[in-house]
């Protein structure tokens, strides 16, 4: 007799292959933005993406082999983690950076908790912050689009702003540049237009909801507008949304099933927290960008958020 009484951790998704399907759809929806990244920053980015995915999948298989568990690399979650990590890397990092990063993401941030569905923190983001703190010089050296890999240490729009730049034209960019991705930044975060397209697909297929991304972006935008460096209500809203990793973070990482709240209200609270912390870090702390940190911090709040906004029991009001 087949044992249907599988006691598993949330999300309690009924069909066995639906999680696999979702993972691969998210993976595919991210591909266009990656192609744009490779187009802007050259083939080295493609190598980084490839190395990152392979390491993630290999690590997952290795650990499952050691633990004598079923090997689940085809469910796409490890590949997705590798892809997201690569998208959060500057395009000129040496190839061993994604190897270390992907290993950390899978081995430490995911498998020590017991694997998919059990980790508390987003593996790709944990690894990204781990790399940022470990090798700050590599992780903050960016290249301009179409620049050769030798011309590193080009500043991102956000870091220029941090160092005293005032407006978009000071940086020599237009909103259109930001929208299409013609700016220095991480491999997968620059092509805003294509990321939004991918997010739209996920929204239509009901894989993600708008609660977290909207509250995240709204919170960040409104605070950036009100509390600008140059005076109250002087902030550049569009710039704050399109200049960093917010679109990638809000739509693709803050919506991760495992590490975000279950209920609508919880998702909104989660998004608000992310937006607020991102703003505080961008505006007051030492780092130019705070998206990864903010999602990581809010991940720690998820069990408490879920406890407060319990899903209502069927039959009760």
Partner 1 sequence: MDVKAILMIIVSMVFINNFILSKFLGLCPFLGVSRNIKPALSMGLAVIFVMTLSSSITWLVYRFLLLPFNITYLRTIVFILVIATFVQFVEMFILKKSPALYRTLGIYLPLITTNCAVLGVAVLNINTFFVNNNPVEFSFIYSMLQGFFAGIGFTLALFLMSGIRERLMLNDTPALFKDLPIAFIIASLMSLGFMGFTGFNF
Partner 2 sequence: MAKNNNLWQEFSKGLFKENPIFYIVLGLCPTLAITTSLENALGMSGAVIFVLTFSNVVISSIRKIVPDKIRIPCFIVVIASFVTITELLMQGYFPILVKHLGIFLPLIVVNCIIMGRAEAFAKNHKVIPSLLDGLGMGVGFSLAIILIAGMREFLGTGKILGRIVFRCFSPSLIFVLPPGALLTLGLLIALFNRIKKR
- Give the interface with partner 1 as residue ranges (CB under 8 A): 9, 67, 108-109, 111-114, 118, 120-121, 126, 129-130, 133, 277, 280-281, 284-287, 290, 292-294, 296-297, 299-301, 303-304, 306-307
State the binding partner of 95 from partner 1, partner 2, none, CB within 5 to 8 A by kind. Answer: none
- Helix 123-134 to helix 291-308 angle (10° resolution) is 140
Burial of 79 (0-12, 13-18, 19+ CB in 10 A): buried
| Shortest reach from residue 128's CB to partner 1, in Å | 10
| 167 Cβ neighbours under 8 A, 6+ residues apart | 236
Site string for partner 2, 135-174 (x = CB under 8 A): xx--------------------------------------
| Shortest reach from residue 25's CB to partner 1, in Å | 26
133: contact with partner 2 by CB under 8 A: yes
Q: Which segments of the chain are extended strands (E)?
A: 227-228, 231-232
- Per CB under 8 A, the segment of 80-88, 130-138, 197-205, 309-317 that binds partner 2 is 130-138
Using CB under 8 A, pick the residue from 62, 108, 141, 262 that binds partner 2.
Answer: 108
State the binding partner of 135 from partner 1, partner 2, none, CB within 5 to 8 A by kind. Answer: partner 2
- Per CB under 8 A, the segment of 8-16, 126-134, 153-161, 211-219 that binds partner 2 is 126-134
Q: Which residue has the tokens 């937006």?
A: 275
Decide if 85 contacts 34 (C-beta within 8 A).
no
The span from the CA of 86 to the CA of 67, in Å, is: 27
Taking alpha carbons only, the member of 34, 37, 81, 27 closest to residue 59 is 81
Preceding amide of 6 cis, omega within 30: no
CB-nearer residue toward partner 2: 98 or 181: 98
List interacting residues with partner 2 (CB under 8 A).
100, 108, 130, 133-136
């Amino acid at each position: 007799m087949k044992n249907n009484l599988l006691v598993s951790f949330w999300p309690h998704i009924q069909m066995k292959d639906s999680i696999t399907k979702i993972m691969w759809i998210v993976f595919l929806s991210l591909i266009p933005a990656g192609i744009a990244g490779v187009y802007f920053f050259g083939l080295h980015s493609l190598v980084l993406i490839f190395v990152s995915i392979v390491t993630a999948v290999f690590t997952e298989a290795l650990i499952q082999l050691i633990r004598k568990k079923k090997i689940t690399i085809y469910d796409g979650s490890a590949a997705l983690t590798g892809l997201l990590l690569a998208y959060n890397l500057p395009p000129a990092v040496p190839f061993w950076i994604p190897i270390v990063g992907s290993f950390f993401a899978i081995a430490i941030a995911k498998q020590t908790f017991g694997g998919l569905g059990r980790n508390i923190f987003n593996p790709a983001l944990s690894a990204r912050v781990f790399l940022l703190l470990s090798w700050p010089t590599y992780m903050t050296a960016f290249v301009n689009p179409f620049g050769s890999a030798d011309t590193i240490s080009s500043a991102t729009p956000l870091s220029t702003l941090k160092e005293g730049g005032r407006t978009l034209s000071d940086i020599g960019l237009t909103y259109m540049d930001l929208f299409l991705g013609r700016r220095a930044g991480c491999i997968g975060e620059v092509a805003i237009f294509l990321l939004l397209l991918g997010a739209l697909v996920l929204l239509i297929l009901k894989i993600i909801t708008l609660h977290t991304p909207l509250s995240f972006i709204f919170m960040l935008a409104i605070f950036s507008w009100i509390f600008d460096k140059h005076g109250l209500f002087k902030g550049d809203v569009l710039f704050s949304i399109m200049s960093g990793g917010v679109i990638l973070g809000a739509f693709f990482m803050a919506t991760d099933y495992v590490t975000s709240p279950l209920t609508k209200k919880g998702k909104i609270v989660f998004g608000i927290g992310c937006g607020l912390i991102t703003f505080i870090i961008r505006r007051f702390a030492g780092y130019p960008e705070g998206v990864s940190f903010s999602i990581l911090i809010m991940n720690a709040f998820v069990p408490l958020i879920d406890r407060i906004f319990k899903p209502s029991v069927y039959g009760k009001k």
